[in-house]
Amino acid sequence: MAPMSTDTLRTELHEGWARLTLARPERRNALNTALLAELAAALTRLDADAQVRVVVIAGADGHFAAGADIGEIATKTTAEGRVDLRKDSWAAIRGFSKPLIAAVEGYCLGGGCELALMSDIMIVAPDAQLGLPETNLGIIPGAGGAERLTALIGRARAMRMVLSGEIIPGSLAHDWGMAAFLAEDVQGEAEDLARRLARRAPLALMAAKRAVVGASESPLAGTLAATRTAFEDLLDSADKAEGIAAFGARRHPVFTGR
């Protein structure tokens, strides 16, 4: 299969593995709807390619992904959220059957952090910045980030991060169990790991992934659906509008609970 790069998603094929690079550097690789759809489509193609056994997701210019696209969220209503195409893209990403490695450096926030949490193995730089700061905008993580974070680091730490919107360094994320590897050279470590995994039995890798994901996520199915509904409900709130306006004006929001 030939590489199918776009202006915002670069695809590189190597022997046994592939790298997908989010490439919106002017927005620190924020995941707008178009980029998320491109990522989902690329993973679907790579899932069907028997020559590709492992995929690495990285970000261009020293950042993984600085969140979702705030401009899209600003105008999105609850009704639009109910039929949001992003849900299909997230489902396709999580349904990728082969090992998925996230190479995290720089900003990894909001939707970008949710993407990293969907990976099977996360590699972080010590000074990477990870967090789910959606409550600062009057919303919550909408793609299962809170649930996956809780499964990885426990209730107390997940509550600390999700409720306060705290952003933590990669070194602490690794210490807490959010990431599997801590590395100064994140891209090199990811490439080395991808090569090692690509030499292993592909059917066994996929079966092992299903086993681990099933053990960690099957009990969350109902919660994930309820969280998505709660996220959609918040899109019409006055607090969401205030949070977005405050973000754009670089001021502290004044929330009223409406």
Q: Would you call 7 helix, strand, or coil by DSSP?
A: coil
**For position 111, what pLDDT does the model report?**
95
Query: What positions carry a catalytic annotation?
Result: 114, 134
pLDDT tens-digit series, residues 176-197: 999 999 999 999 999 999 999 9
Identify any residues that bridge with 100 across adjacent strands, giving them in sequence order: 55
**For position 223, what pLDDT does the model report?**
77
- Residues 104/130, Cβ–Cβ less than 8 Å: yes
**For position 115, what pLDDT does the model report?**
98
Identify any residues that bridge with 45 across adjacent strands, giving them in sequence order: none
**For position 1, what pLDDT does the model report?**
52
For the chain, list residues with pLDDT below 50: none
pTM: 0.91
**For position 201, what pLDDT does the model report?**
95
Joined tokens for residue 76: 């999105």
Kindly report the backbone phi and psi dihedral angles of residue 151, in degrees, each rounded to the nearest multiple of 5, phi listed first. -65, -30
Burial of residue 79 (number of CB atoms within 10 Å: 0-12, 13-18, 19+): exposed
